[in-house]
Each structure stands twice: as C-alpha cells, then as structure tokens.
C-alpha cells in the first residue's frame, strides 16, 4: 500500500519532535535535525496543508487533576436507531475523552475518565439513559503502558 505522501527522515524527525513536544521551537528542532529553521518551517507548513499535521496539542495528566479511574466502555446501539444521534449525545458527556464508531460486538467504544468508581458508575448510568443504547460493557484500565504518538512515525519512515 502506497501512502499519499512519502515522508523522509527529516519529516519523520519533525513529526517525532512535534509528537513529543508540540511547542518545541523550530530553531531548536532545526539544530537537533541539523537543517535550517526555514526547512523546518516549510516542511511543517507542507504537512499541515496536506492534513498530515492537523493540530498540535497539550497532553493532560488527568490523574494529577483527580481523575484517577480510566474505563473503556463498549456501547451497543439499537440497530433501528441512527447511530449519529447516540454519538451526538455522547459528545455532551465531558468525561468521555475518546470515542470511536467500531465494528464487532459494540457499535461505539469510549474512553472515560472518572474521579473514582462511584463517579464512573454515574457516568455509565447517564450513558444507559441515552435513547437507543441497549447495553454497555465496561473494562477498567489499571495502567496505561503505551501512549506513543511517534512510535508509528518511526516505522513509516523506514
């Protein structure tokens, strides 16, 4: 399979540094990659224009904000109902930090951040009250051991 845009080692390095620290100054990145500041700027702008770089973001440690429980929730939706309506309702629940429409056992999979088990129970009960949700299945995460934004970039650049 051919990608739409073939990245080289410079693009790969840029993407890796941005994934690690989206606020890294181009001058610092240029020194590390041993290219000019202008090269970094041009490459980033090109990758933004192509949609490869969609945005830079801050990584929030929810544990330090008191949200110490992470759950993954599979949501089964009534097949006669438009799944988009359920998705719109899920967008209104701020503790859902990631949601995907999926295949398999569930139509939707959500990542939920909660203060504790009681808080998670309340969030899940809210999800159950959404019209069209038939059932859910919860998996509690004990520890996140991979959260790499640049692991795949390293593979693509090979």
- Summarize pLDDT for 9-32 with one digit per residue, the tens: 899 899 989 888 888 999 999 999
- 157 falls in which pLDDT band (50, 70, 90)? low
**Per-residue pLDDT averaged across 131-139, rounded?**
96
For 31-46, what is the mean pLDDT? 95
d(CA 35, CA 56): 21
Mean per-residue pLDDT for 36-48? 94
End-to-end CA distance of the chain: give it in Å, rounded.
14
| Torsion, Cα of 33, 34, 40, 46 (10° steps) | -80
pLDDT at 1 over 50: no
Of the CATH numbers 1.10.260.40, 1.10.10.10, 3.40.50.10490, 1.20.1740.10, which one belongs to the domain with range 9-58?
1.10.10.10
Each domain of the chain, given as residue ranges in start order, spans 9-58, 62-141
Taking only the tens place, the pLDDT of each residue in 80-130 is 667 999 999 999 999 999 999 999 999 999 999 999 999 999 999 999 999
Whether residue 78 is predicted with pLDDT greater than 60 in this model: the reply is yes
Higher-scoring residue by pLDDT: 155, 35: 35
Do you know the residue count of the chain?
158
pLDDT for the residue 4: 66
- CB-CB neighbours of 77 under 10 Å: 21
Q: Which residues contact 128 (CB under 8 A, 6 or more apart)?
A: 135, 136
Can you give the pLDDT at residue 26? Answer: 95
CATH 3.30.390.50 fits 62-141, yes or no: no
> Residue 79: which pLDDT band, with cuts at 50, 70 and 90?
confident
């Amino acid at each position: 399979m051919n990608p739409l845009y073939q990245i080289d080692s410079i693009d790969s390095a840029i993407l890796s540094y941005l994934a690690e620290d989206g606020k890294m100054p181009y001058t610092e990145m240029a020194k590390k990659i041993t290219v000019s500041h202008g090269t970094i700027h041009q490459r980033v702008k090109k990758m933004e224009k192509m949609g490869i770089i969609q945005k830079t973001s801050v990584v929030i440690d929810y544990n330090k904000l008191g949200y110490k429980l992470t759950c993954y929730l599979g949501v089964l939706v009534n097949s006669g109902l438009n799944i988009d309506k359920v998705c719109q309702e899920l967008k209104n629940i701020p503790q859902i930090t990631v949601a995907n429409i999926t295949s398999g056992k569930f139509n939707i999979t959500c990542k939920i951040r909660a203060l504790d088990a009681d808080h998670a129970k309340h969030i899940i009960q809210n999800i159950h009250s959404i019209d069209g949700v038939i059932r859910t299945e919860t998996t509690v995460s004990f520890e996140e051991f991979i959260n790499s934004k640049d692991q795949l970039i390293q593979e693509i650049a090979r």
